[in-house]
A = this chain, B = another copy of it.
Amino acid sequence: MTEYSIGVDLGGTNLRAAAVDQDGNLLAQISASTSPEKGREYVINEIVESIQELRSKQLQGRFAGVGIGVPGFILIDEGVVLNSNNLSFLENIPLRDEIERRLGAPVILENDANAAALGENWIGAGADVQDLVLLTLGTGIGGGIIYKGHVMHGFLGMAGELGHITVVPNGNPCGCGNVGCLEKHASATAITCLAELMKVTPHPNPTSEDIYNLAVAGDLKAQQVFRSMGEALGIALAMLINTFNFPLYLLSGGPLPAWDFFAPAMIEEVSRRSFTYRNTKTRIEKAKLGSKAGLFGAAYLPFQAQKDRH
């Protein structure tokens, strides 16, 4: 029988919701503003109304439920957000149960990077494996770990904090209290900082895309920035490969178009630092679903929960 679910990707500024069938076909999609400044009740209403709007579209098939990707740490069994920098007013309340009550339908909460990893595993670049790690390169670096087709959560939903792996023991300071975190050396933000340190461009506030365009144009300093970023990624990936021996490691996010500038240094570093990588067919690849990975991953959650029950 045809079924569909609804996935929600809750960001700090935008909320996207999509109805998806069990083969991963997008049936309908809508967007709304998250407007965190309007507070808890407003945001919860936006979530519920977006889902109800999609359900009112006369979609074919049985409704399997809702998955919601949230930026933050989540106690999965309890359906509670423990910690969310952007949406702190959603912390420590029975968020899942409240949305379930208003909708009259089953809801699953998941961390947004975990949802993205699950989406890539379902219908993206990792559809051919059971185990993968996804690194999302953005303002920071998020991580999602999929093992036997399921998200690894850890005992408090804090697994996969891969942006805070130490890659340079005396490196750049991080708001987390550490120095040398991966995300301070390889995120989109790190790229622009490194470019400013290198005086790659006289213009203030370059974006990582600006740096990329300069690298394409042959600017050696811009290219050096991406090499430095690739080295940091390589140290982290070698560590992950030595730890997990998974077949696949995916990268996603804004800096991905600069792959040809950072990947050679990354692969060189991984090769040197991981005999597992050198001696096995371990793949390091681009993710495929782009910014929709989290939306699809969230939509997959109700289908996966059904399968796990059977």
Contact = CB atoms under 8 A, between A and B. Distances in A.
Interface string A118-161: 00000000000001000000000001010100001111111111
Contact size class for A? 35 or more
Contacts of A235: 166, 169
A160 B280 contact: no
A240 B162 CA distance: 10
A178 B245 contact: no
A275 interface: yes
Given A167-B169, A168-B169, A244 B154 contact: yes
A212 interface: no
B243 A160 contact: yes
A146 to B, nearest CB: 13
Most B CB contacts (10 A, CB to CB) among A159, A160, A177, A239 go to: A239
Given A161-B276, A166-B238, A169-B168, A243 B178 contact: no
A246 interface: yes
A308 to B, nearest CB: 13
Interface of A: 131, 143, 145, 147, 152-162, 164-169, 176-178, 235, 238-240, 242-247, 272-276, 278, 280
14 contacts: A131-B154, A131-B155, A143-B243, A158-B245, A158-B276, A159-B243, A159-B245, A161-B276, A164-B275, A165-B242, A166-B235, A168-B169, A177-B278, A178-B238
Given A152-B244, A166-B235, A177-B272, 19 more contacts: A143-B243, A155-B247, A157-B245, A158-B245, A158-B276, A159-B244, A160-B245, A161-B243, A161-B245, A161-B275, A162-B243, A164-B274, A165-B239, A165-B242, A166-B239, A178-B238, A178-B274, A178-B275, A240-B243
